[in-house]
Amino acid sequence: MPFLRNISPRVAAAVLTFALIGGCSSTSGNDATGQGGDIQGEALAECLSGQTIPAGSTLNIATTVAPITSIVANVAGGLAQITGIVPEGTNSHTFEPSPSVAATLVDTDVIFANGLILEEPTKELAATNLPKSAALCELGTAVLPVDDYIYDFSFPKAGGKPNPHLWTDPKLAIKYVALIRDVLVKMDPSNAAAYTSNAAAYTVKLNELDAAITTASATLPAEDRKLLTYHDAYAYFAADYGWQILGAIQPSDFAEPTAREVGDLITQVKKSKVKAIFGSEVFPSAVLAQIGRETGVTYVDVLRDDDLLGKPGDANHSFLGLMQFDYITMIEALGGDATALRNLNITDVAPDNAKYPQ
């Protein structure tokens, strides 16, 4: 991986880490032994630890980031009360819930979070405010073996926080759906049939998304399936769909890179054959604009990892809408044909009446 070879030791170490682990599949089977199995097994047990609610009452669900809220809403199908915690458009990696979130948590039966150390302040607030009968379900931690965690550019192993962006990989989102279904069926068995059929219908949609991404990706020559992004949100996607992550510009403390690092990045972008570089709508970056300007490489700054399109109630304000938008954006900017993604029907399988804080 010659790209970024000359930049700072901090980033270079991350590149090396990625080179060592980047080839592993993020969807291999569960490892029930060793440390990894313990963390994953404990997280799975915690997801399924909530008490069954009385028949005829409504399940109160809290969720963290908006993509998870949308996925849960599709499985719950209007049969549960769903309240998001992380406002859309904020930095979910540094988000700290206000004390008012405690009022939501005291009435919550289950929280669906992403895990992989994304939501520690929310977990702390939950520890003192969730009822004893409730479950805190960290979906990513429960579905992904520790051996498959990716540490890379903005999430170096030395920092101790793995890249948490599992949901941008539809193959992993499908695993989230299955676990959400199992939790809802256990806690609210009166509605088990509906949860099961919603999850099945939504999984069909996610499989269609998966197939469309594969088809559209294949219109790009392998040497063009390369991503240089500002926010480091596509590592698991890349591993599962045959893309290469050249780098991510955002440092692990979510500050801007230093002037020296920017200069080195400009040199490396000029040497590489990358056709476009991608910024994030949640993280507007003068640095990425500068790199685009000085290298003459197309600069696209509209990717999103946890801020849904439009407003709550809009047809594209959904996880499916978000994924369709991001992968059309990437593939077309790199010169590919995203018709398969454009033709996708992204209608949710159930009405989404979750509360999305803005």
- Residues forming the site for Zn ion (CB under 5 A): 233, 305
**Residue 54 Cβ, how far from Zn ion at the closest point, in Å?**
38
Nearest distance from C-beta of residue 342 to Zn ion, angstroms: 25
- Rounded to a whole number of angstroms, the minimum distance from the CB of residue 163 to Zn ion is 9
Burial class, 201, CB count within 10 angstroms (exposed 0-12 / middle 13-18 / buried 19+): middle
* β-strands 226-229, 135-138 pairing: unpaired
Which residue in the shown chain puts its C-beta closest to Zn ion?
305
Match 């880490």 to its residue by tokens: 17
Nearer of residues 305 and 332 to Zn ion, judged by Cβ: 305
Least distance CB 31 / Zn ion (angstroms): 26
Please spell the DSSP secondary structure of 257-303, one letter per residue.
PPHHHHHHHHHHHHHS---EEEEETTB--HHHHHHHHHHT-EEEEEE
Query: Which tokens in the block code for residue 142?
Result: 């429960």
Which helix H or strand E contains 245, and what residues bound it? strand 244-248
Burial class (CB in 10 A: 0-12, 13-18, 19+), 291: buried
Residue closer to Zn ion, measured from CB, 233 or 334: 233
**Min separation Cβ 49 and Zn ion, Å:** 27
Which of 92, 129 has the CB closer to Zn ion?
92
Nearest to 115 by CA among 83, 84, 146: 146
Question: 3-state DSSP call for residue 61?
Answer: strand
Nearer residue to Zn ion within complex by CB, 125 or 233: 233
> 226 or 304: whose CB is closer to Zn ion?
304
